[in-house]
Protein backbone atom coordinates (compact mmCIF):
# COMPACT_ATOMS: atom_id res chain seq x y z
CA UNK A 1 0.00 0.00 0.00
CA UNK A 2 2.72 2.46 0.99
CA UNK A 3 4.70 1.51 -2.09
CA UNK A 4 1.76 2.19 -4.39
CA UNK A 5 1.07 5.60 -2.84
CA UNK A 6 4.80 6.45 -2.96
CA UNK A 7 4.96 5.53 -6.66
CA UNK A 8 1.96 7.74 -7.38
CA UNK A 9 3.54 10.69 -5.53
CA UNK A 10 6.86 10.26 -7.32
CA UNK A 11 5.05 10.03 -10.66
CA UNK A 12 3.17 13.24 -9.91
CA UNK A 13 6.47 14.95 -9.09
CA UNK A 14 7.97 13.83 -12.40
CA UNK A 15 4.92 15.22 -14.23
CA UNK A 16 5.49 18.59 -12.56
CA UNK A 17 9.12 18.62 -13.68
CA UNK A 18 8.39 17.62 -17.28
CA UNK A 19 5.26 19.75 -17.62
CA UNK A 20 4.61 23.45 -17.43
CA UNK A 21 4.73 23.44 -13.65
CA UNK A 22 8.46 22.83 -13.22
CA UNK A 23 8.71 25.95 -11.05
CA UNK A 24 6.43 24.26 -8.49
CA UNK A 25 8.80 21.30 -8.46
CA UNK A 26 11.73 23.66 -7.83
CA UNK A 27 9.87 25.33 -4.96
CA UNK A 28 9.07 21.94 -3.48
CA UNK A 29 12.72 20.85 -3.72
CA UNK A 30 13.66 23.98 -1.79
CA UNK A 31 11.04 23.11 0.82
CA UNK A 32 12.38 19.54 0.94
CA UNK A 33 15.87 20.84 1.62
CA UNK A 34 14.72 23.14 4.43
CA UNK A 35 12.42 20.49 5.96
CA UNK A 36 14.75 17.50 5.60
CA UNK A 37 15.26 16.90 9.33
CA UNK A 38 11.58 17.05 10.34
CA UNK A 39 11.03 13.25 10.14
CA UNK A 40 13.77 12.90 12.79
CA UNK A 41 12.31 15.67 14.96
CA UNK A 42 8.86 14.33 15.75
CA UNK A 43 7.35 14.73 12.30
CA UNK A 44 4.33 16.87 11.59
CA UNK A 45 1.15 14.99 12.45
CA UNK A 46 -2.28 16.21 11.40
CA UNK A 47 -5.35 15.37 13.43
CA UNK A 48 -7.42 15.99 10.30
CA UNK A 49 -5.53 13.38 8.25
CA UNK A 50 -5.56 10.84 11.08
CA UNK A 51 -9.34 11.25 11.36
CA UNK A 52 -10.21 10.74 7.69
CA UNK A 53 -13.37 8.67 7.28
CA UNK A 54 -11.53 6.31 4.93
CA UNK A 55 -9.49 4.98 7.87
CA UNK A 56 -12.70 3.92 9.60
CA UNK A 57 -13.55 1.77 6.59
CA UNK A 58 -9.93 0.55 6.42
CA UNK A 59 -10.12 -0.70 10.01
CA UNK A 60 -13.54 -2.26 9.48
CA UNK A 61 -12.50 -4.09 6.30
CA UNK A 62 -10.42 -6.73 8.11
CA UNK A 63 -11.50 -5.73 10.85
CA UNK A 64 -8.66 -4.36 13.01
CA UNK A 65 -8.94 -4.40 16.80
CA UNK A 66 -6.65 -3.01 19.52
CA UNK A 67 -6.69 -4.95 22.78
CA UNK A 68 -5.52 -3.38 26.02
CA UNK A 69 -4.18 -5.67 28.75
CA UNK A 70 -2.69 -3.10 31.12
CA UNK A 71 -2.70 0.59 31.93
CA UNK A 72 0.09 2.74 30.49
CA UNK A 73 0.76 5.73 32.73
CA UNK A 74 1.01 8.86 30.54
CA UNK A 75 3.65 10.25 32.90
CA UNK A 76 6.16 7.86 31.33
CA UNK A 77 7.53 7.41 27.82
CA UNK A 78 7.22 3.99 26.21
CA UNK A 79 8.87 1.95 23.49
CA UNK A 80 6.36 -0.45 21.96
CA UNK A 81 7.85 -3.41 20.11
CA UNK A 82 5.42 -4.47 17.36
CA UNK A 83 5.36 -8.09 16.10
CA UNK A 84 5.17 -9.52 13.48
CA UNK A 85 5.94 -7.30 10.48
CA UNK A 86 3.69 -9.19 8.05
CA UNK A 87 3.47 -7.90 4.48
CA UNK A 88 1.25 -4.87 5.03
CA UNK A 89 1.90 -3.99 8.72
CA UNK A 90 -1.84 -3.26 8.74
CA UNK A 91 -2.22 -3.58 12.50
CA UNK A 92 0.48 -1.02 13.20
CA UNK A 93 -0.91 1.47 10.69
CA UNK A 94 -4.57 1.00 11.61
CA UNK A 95 -4.03 1.24 15.34
CA UNK A 96 -1.25 3.82 15.67
CA UNK A 97 -1.65 6.06 12.60
CA UNK A 98 -5.40 6.59 12.66
CA UNK A 99 -7.73 7.89 15.34
CA UNK A 100 -9.50 7.41 17.66
CA UNK A 101 -8.78 3.83 18.82
CA UNK A 102 -5.40 4.30 20.52
CA UNK A 103 -6.16 7.60 22.25
CA UNK A 104 -9.44 6.20 23.59
CA UNK A 105 -7.73 3.20 25.17
CA UNK A 106 -4.56 5.02 26.27
CA UNK A 107 -5.49 8.65 26.96
CA UNK A 108 -2.56 11.02 27.36
CA UNK A 109 -0.22 8.97 25.15
CA UNK A 110 0.85 10.04 21.65
CA UNK A 111 2.03 7.17 19.39
CA UNK A 112 4.79 7.61 16.80
CA UNK A 113 5.23 4.81 14.27
CA UNK A 114 8.89 4.60 13.20
CA UNK A 115 9.49 3.52 9.59
CA UNK A 116 12.54 3.30 7.33
CA UNK A 117 14.13 6.71 6.57
CA UNK A 118 14.09 5.96 2.83
CA UNK A 119 10.33 6.66 2.68
CA UNK A 120 10.89 10.29 3.70
CA UNK A 121 12.91 10.96 0.58
CA UNK A 122 9.84 10.51 -1.62
CA UNK A 123 8.35 13.87 -2.72
CA UNK A 124 4.85 14.62 -1.37
CA UNK A 125 4.55 11.11 0.05
CA UNK A 126 6.68 12.18 3.02
CA UNK A 127 4.13 14.89 3.87
CA UNK A 128 1.34 12.34 3.93
CA UNK A 129 3.09 9.79 6.15
CA UNK A 130 4.23 12.46 8.60
CA UNK A 131 0.64 13.73 8.78
CA UNK A 132 -0.42 10.23 9.82
CA UNK A 133 2.08 10.22 12.69
CA UNK A 134 4.94 8.31 11.10
CA UNK A 135 8.53 9.34 11.76
CA UNK A 136 11.97 8.04 10.85
CA UNK A 137 13.32 4.87 12.45
CA UNK A 138 16.77 6.46 12.86
CA UNK A 139 18.41 6.63 16.29
CA UNK A 140 18.04 10.43 16.28
CA UNK A 141 14.32 10.14 15.65
CA UNK A 142 13.70 7.56 18.37
CA UNK A 143 15.74 9.66 20.81
CA UNK A 144 13.72 12.76 19.96
CA UNK A 145 10.45 10.98 20.76
CA UNK A 146 11.68 9.34 23.96
CA UNK A 147 13.37 12.52 25.24
CA UNK A 148 10.02 14.10 26.09
CA UNK A 149 10.53 15.19 29.70
CA UNK A 150 6.86 15.19 30.62
CA UNK A 151 6.28 11.66 29.36
CA UNK A 152 3.28 10.78 27.23
CA UNK A 153 5.19 9.65 24.12
CA UNK A 154 5.12 6.13 22.70
CA UNK A 155 7.64 5.03 20.07
CA UNK A 156 6.23 2.13 18.04
CA UNK A 157 8.95 0.09 16.33
CA UNK A 158 8.35 -2.94 14.11
CA UNK A 159 11.24 -4.91 15.55
CA UNK A 160 11.59 -7.55 12.82
CA UNK A 161 11.92 -4.90 10.12
CA UNK A 162 11.69 -5.50 6.39
CA UNK A 163 13.63 -8.76 6.66
CA UNK A 164 10.81 -10.31 8.67
CA UNK A 165 8.29 -9.68 5.88
CA UNK A 166 9.95 -12.53 3.97
CA UNK A 167 8.63 -14.88 6.68
CA UNK A 168 5.09 -13.52 6.41
CA UNK A 169 3.31 -16.71 5.38
CA UNK A 170 -0.10 -17.68 6.78
CA UNK A 171 0.45 -19.56 10.01
CA UNK A 172 4.07 -18.41 10.36
CA UNK A 173 5.18 -17.54 13.88
CA UNK A 174 8.85 -16.82 13.15
CA UNK A 175 10.19 -13.49 14.45
CA UNK A 176 13.54 -11.91 13.56
CA UNK A 177 14.55 -10.65 16.98
CA UNK A 178 17.49 -12.52 18.52
CA UNK A 179 20.09 -10.18 17.01
CA UNK A 180 17.95 -7.05 17.22
CA UNK A 181 18.96 -5.29 20.41
CA UNK A 182 19.18 -1.67 19.33
CA UNK A 183 15.70 -0.94 20.65
CA UNK A 184 16.72 -2.36 24.03
CA UNK A 185 19.70 0.00 24.16
CA UNK A 186 17.50 2.96 23.27
CA UNK A 187 15.00 2.07 25.99
CA UNK A 188 17.81 1.89 28.57
CA UNK A 189 19.40 5.17 27.49
CA UNK A 190 16.12 7.04 27.81
CA UNK A 191 14.51 5.10 30.64
CA UNK A 192 11.55 4.28 28.39
CA UNK A 193 9.36 1.43 29.57
CA UNK A 194 9.27 -1.50 27.12
CA UNK A 195 5.92 -2.84 25.95
CA UNK A 196 5.63 -6.01 23.81
CA UNK A 197 2.85 -5.90 21.20
CA UNK A 198 1.69 -8.91 19.20
CA UNK A 199 -0.67 -8.55 16.24
CA UNK A 200 -2.60 -11.79 15.71
CA UNK A 201 -3.70 -12.25 12.09
CA UNK A 202 -1.00 -10.02 10.58
CA UNK A 203 0.53 -12.86 8.57
CA UNK A 204 -2.83 -14.11 7.26
CA UNK A 205 -3.57 -11.15 4.97
CA UNK A 206 -1.59 -12.42 1.96
CA UNK A 207 -0.25 -15.63 0.49
CA UNK A 208 3.42 -15.43 -0.35
CA UNK A 209 5.34 -17.46 -2.93
CA UNK A 210 7.28 -20.21 -1.17
CA UNK A 211 10.73 -18.89 -0.29
CA UNK A 212 12.35 -21.18 2.29
CA UNK A 213 15.77 -20.18 3.54
CA UNK A 214 18.46 -21.33 1.18
CA UNK A 215 16.20 -21.25 -1.88
CA UNK A 216 17.26 -19.18 -4.88
CA UNK A 217 14.29 -16.86 -4.43
CA UNK A 218 15.09 -16.20 -0.76
CA UNK A 219 18.75 -15.56 -1.61
CA UNK A 220 17.75 -13.01 -4.26
CA UNK A 221 15.26 -11.33 -1.90
CA UNK A 222 17.81 -11.08 0.88
CA UNK A 223 20.45 -9.61 -1.45
CA UNK A 224 17.97 -7.02 -2.77
CA UNK A 225 16.91 -6.20 0.78
CA UNK A 226 20.52 -5.45 1.75
CA UNK A 227 21.01 -3.27 -1.33
CA UNK A 228 17.73 -1.31 -1.27
CA UNK A 229 16.96 -1.32 2.44
CA UNK A 230 13.51 -2.87 2.04
CA UNK A 231 12.32 -6.37 1.16
CA UNK A 232 10.37 -7.49 -1.90
CA UNK A 233 8.08 -10.36 -0.87
CA UNK A 234 6.19 -11.95 -3.80
CA UNK A 235 2.62 -12.08 -2.55
CA UNK A 236 -0.97 -12.18 -3.70
CA UNK A 237 -4.42 -12.24 -2.16
CA UNK A 238 -7.82 -11.43 -3.67
CA UNK A 239 -9.21 -9.13 -6.34
CA UNK A 240 -12.01 -6.60 -6.24
CA UNK A 241 -14.73 -8.89 -7.58
CA UNK A 242 -13.19 -12.32 -7.09
CA UNK A 243 -11.30 -14.14 -4.35
CA UNK A 244 -8.79 -16.23 -6.29
CA UNK A 245 -6.07 -13.70 -7.18
CA UNK A 246 -5.24 -10.03 -6.67
CA UNK A 247 -3.36 -7.60 -4.45
CA UNK A 248 -6.20 -6.67 -2.11
CA UNK A 249 -5.58 -8.29 1.30
CA UNK A 250 -7.88 -11.02 2.51
CA UNK A 251 -10.54 -10.04 5.03
CA UNK A 252 -8.94 -11.64 8.06
CA UNK A 253 -9.43 -10.19 11.56
CA UNK A 254 -6.39 -8.52 13.11
CA UNK A 255 -6.17 -8.37 16.89
CA UNK A 256 -3.27 -6.23 18.08
CA UNK A 257 -2.66 -7.04 21.75
CA UNK A 258 -0.71 -4.48 23.80
CA UNK A 259 1.08 -6.15 26.71
CA UNK A 260 2.08 -4.94 30.14
CA UNK A 261 4.98 -2.49 30.44
CA UNK A 262 8.42 -3.62 31.54
CA UNK A 263 9.80 -0.89 33.84
CA UNK A 264 13.19 0.37 32.63
CA UNK A 265 15.54 2.50 34.71
CA UNK A 266 17.56 5.04 32.73
CA UNK A 267 21.12 3.98 32.04
CA UNK A 268 23.07 6.29 29.74
CA UNK A 269 25.90 3.80 29.21
CA UNK A 270 24.48 0.27 29.44
CA UNK A 271 26.90 -2.61 29.26
CA UNK A 272 26.51 -5.53 26.86
CA UNK A 273 25.46 -7.71 29.78
CA UNK A 274 22.74 -5.25 30.85
CA UNK A 275 21.40 -5.04 27.30
CA UNK A 276 21.37 -8.83 26.97
CA UNK A 277 19.60 -9.20 30.31
CA UNK A 278 16.81 -6.79 29.39
CA UNK A 279 16.55 -8.34 25.91
CA UNK A 280 16.06 -11.78 27.47
CA UNK A 281 13.37 -10.39 29.78
CA UNK A 282 11.63 -8.77 26.81
CA UNK A 283 11.60 -12.08 24.90
CA UNK A 284 10.17 -13.78 27.97
CA UNK A 285 7.36 -11.21 28.30
CA UNK A 286 6.61 -11.32 24.56
CA UNK A 287 6.33 -15.10 24.62
CA UNK A 288 4.10 -14.94 27.71
CA UNK A 289 1.83 -12.39 26.00
CA UNK A 290 1.50 -14.66 22.98
CA UNK A 291 0.82 -17.80 25.02
CA UNK A 292 -1.84 -16.08 27.15
CA UNK A 293 -3.83 -14.88 24.14
CA UNK A 294 -3.18 -17.34 21.30
CA UNK A 295 -6.21 -19.52 22.08
CA UNK A 296 -8.48 -16.48 21.70
CA UNK A 297 -7.40 -15.96 18.09
CA UNK A 298 -7.29 -19.44 16.60
CA UNK A 299 -3.67 -20.42 17.27
CA UNK A 300 -3.38 -24.16 18.06
CA UNK A 301 -2.20 -24.98 21.56
CA UNK A 302 0.91 -26.81 20.32
CA UNK A 303 2.20 -23.79 18.34
CA UNK A 304 4.61 -21.28 19.85
CA UNK A 305 6.74 -18.35 18.73
CA UNK A 306 10.03 -19.07 17.01
CA UNK A 307 12.82 -16.54 17.63
CA UNK A 308 15.57 -16.18 15.04
pLDDT tens for each residue of 118-133:
889 888 889 999 999 9
pLDDT band for position 243 (cuts 50, 70, 90): confident
* Mean pLDDT (whole number) for 219-247: 83
How far apart are the C-alpha atoms of 132 and 191, rounded to whole Å? 26
**Does the structure show a pLDDT above 70 at 77?**
yes
* Mean pLDDT (whole number) for 96-107: 95
Contact 164, 87 (CB under 8 A): no
Q: For the chain, give every domain's residue range.
A: 39-307
pLDDT band for position 228 (cuts 50, 70, 90): confident
Could you name the CATH architecture of 39-307? Answer: 3-Layer(aba) Sandwich (3.40)
pTM for this structure?
0.92
Q: Can you give the pLDDT at residue 1?
A: 52
How far apart are the C-alpha atoms of 168 and 264, rounded to whole Å? 31
pLDDT tens for each residue of 194-221:
999 999 999 999 999 999 999 999 999 8
Q: Can you give the pLDDT at residue 11?
A: 67
Amino acid sequence: FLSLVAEFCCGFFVILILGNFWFLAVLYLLWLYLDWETPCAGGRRSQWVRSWTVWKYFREYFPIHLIKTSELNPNHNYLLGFHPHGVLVAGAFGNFCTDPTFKNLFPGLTPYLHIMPIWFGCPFFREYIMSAGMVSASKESVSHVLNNEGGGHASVIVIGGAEESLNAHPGSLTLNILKRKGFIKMALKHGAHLVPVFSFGENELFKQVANPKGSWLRNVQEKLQKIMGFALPLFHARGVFQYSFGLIPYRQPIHTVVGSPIPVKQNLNPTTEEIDELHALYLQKLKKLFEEHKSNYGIPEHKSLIFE
